[in-house]
Amino acid sequence: MTSIVVYQTSVTGCGHRHASQALNIHPTAVVSEEASISTEAEIGPFSVVAGRVEIGAHTVVESHVRVGSLYGEVIIGEHNHIQSGAVVGGPPQHRDYADGFTRLVIGRRNRIGEGATINLGSESGGGVTSVGDRVFLMASTHIGHDCRISDDVVVTNLAHLGGHVEVGRKAVIAGMVAVTQHVRIGEFAFVAARSGVNKDILPYTVAEGRWATSRAVNKVGLQRAGVSAVELRNIRRAIRHLLNTSLTVDGALKAIDEECDADDWIRRLAEFAANSPRGLARGHGPAGA
């Protein structure tokens, strides 16, 4: 079993701090001897760093945070802010989980809010949960095992992502959204508050409902990303075909190929739609995108 010790003052000659160093670590913090923590990181009062954990420079871990466990490895990059009460790197909530040793990898400049939880990967799901760069996980959010969160994503208060969920870059998931296992949420998508998500949400769309369906183009999000008026019209034309349930997905993709300019936005949209094991959350009639 990995030993856990309270930090004491001592400095080694390397650029990382282990269980015998103190500098920016509160004396009440409890830290594993296996941890590797930058001398420029901060660990707050009553926090616990357990097992194999790496914490990069300028990352701040506030009070009463749990990072790591005996069940896997946690790697956290630079300039992250982990707020009080978060639990980062606990074991996967999986019935078949036994004595595996898996990973959680968190990038740079992320903010993890109060009471947020992020689980390790599971052996059956590839073994890695990953969070990209500049992600904002607000208070009491949950990121389940084997999720893959891309850069610049926002997950709002009390939103919960089941295992194996993939979230594309710059997607926004509003408060109290529940996402079931193996669902994909496309880039620049917006999922409205109190929705349930059990099918793939198309990129560039606004989705909502008891079981969320894409309803319209996320015009605001795309404009903020610098999408031109010409590109936006092209995206809207493509989304209109995909949300028209009088067409099959294959039929919609054929119409997109015939009628839309094949720029990078359309290419990524078509790839997403063509590879959807869970099915697309397309709504119940002709689109009003």
What's the pLDDT at 288?
A: 54
What is the dihedral sign for C-alpha 231, 236, 239, 240?
Answer: negative
pLDDT value of position 11:
33
Domain ranges for the chain: 4-164
Task: Provide the angle, in degrees to the nearest 10, between the axes of the packed helices 249-259 and 229-243.
Answer: 150
Average pLDDT per block of 10 residues along the chain, 289 residues long: 38 41 83 96 98 98 97 97 98 82 97 98 93 98 98 98 98 98 98 98 98 97 96 98 96 98 97 97 66
**CA atoms of 287 and 242, how far apart (whole Å):** 8
pLDDT given for residue 289 in this prediction: 67
What does each C-alpha distance from 60 to 29, 53, 156 come to in angstroms? 13, 14, 21
Cβ burial of 237 (10 Å; 0-12, 13-18, 19+) is middle
Contact 273, 242 (CB under 8 A): yes
Kindly write down the DSSP assignment for every residue of 160-229, as one continuous string. Answer: EE-TT-EE-TT-EE-TT-EE-TT-EE-TT-EE-TT-EE-SBBPTTEEEETTBTEEEEE-HHHHHHTT--H
4-164 has CATH 3.90.1170.40 classification:
no
